[in-house]
Amino acid sequence: MAWLGWTLAVTCGLATAYATFRTAAVRTESALQRENAELAKLEARSLKQTLEAERIIASRQTNDLLRASDPAQWAVATLSFSEPAGAASAVAVWNPVVRQGLLRAWNLPALPTGEEYRLWLTGPLLAVPVSAGAVQPDSDGSARLLIRPAAPIESATGVKLSKEKAGATEPSGPVVASGAW
């Protein structure tokens, strides 16, 4: 019967050790969850500040573009969408003096990860369309892009908006909208 007492003592010791281990594990997991929640808050705050900074920069760039020359010289293109895009619409304004412009788009459908909308400048003097930048719609599908050609151009007569793999340098995806001025 002496072995019964020892067995009981060992069992109680093992149960106590297990309970202590589980308590420590739960506390560690709880601390990790609190740290992850705090990191998520910091990341959200950082993203919010980045978006606000980008909005301020875009606003300043637009104002600079507006002051660069007489708006009467500007060219305007309303883009026509080639595939059913719901209520999607876009307008591009081109300043031929400074060779820059502005694109505004609304209700662009979301694209899968790894794809982006890209704006291309076109014209009879351009052998291939020249990238004017990636168009990144907000959650509501609206987008604004300061049009700056990736390569020097003398003139452009229109624009095309295509779906491309992220970072594309030449057009290869389907054109979803186009317009001429």
Contact 158, 77 (CB under 8 A): yes
Residue 65 to residue 30: CA distance in whole angstroms = 52
pLDDT in tens, 101-144: 999 999 999 999 999 999 999 999 999 999 999 999 999 999 99
Q: What percent of the chain has pLDDT over 70?
A: 86
At 160, the pLDDT band (50, 70, 90 cuts) reads: very high
Q: What is the pLDDT of residue 118?
A: 98
Statement: residue 44 has pLDDT above 90? no
Statement: residue 5 has pLDDT above 80? no
CATH of 70-180, one of 1.20.120, 2.60.40, 2.160.20, 1.10.575: 2.60.40
Average pLDDT, the chain: 85
pLDDT in tens, 58-83: 667 666 666 666 777 889 999 999 87
- CA Rg, the chain, in Å? 29
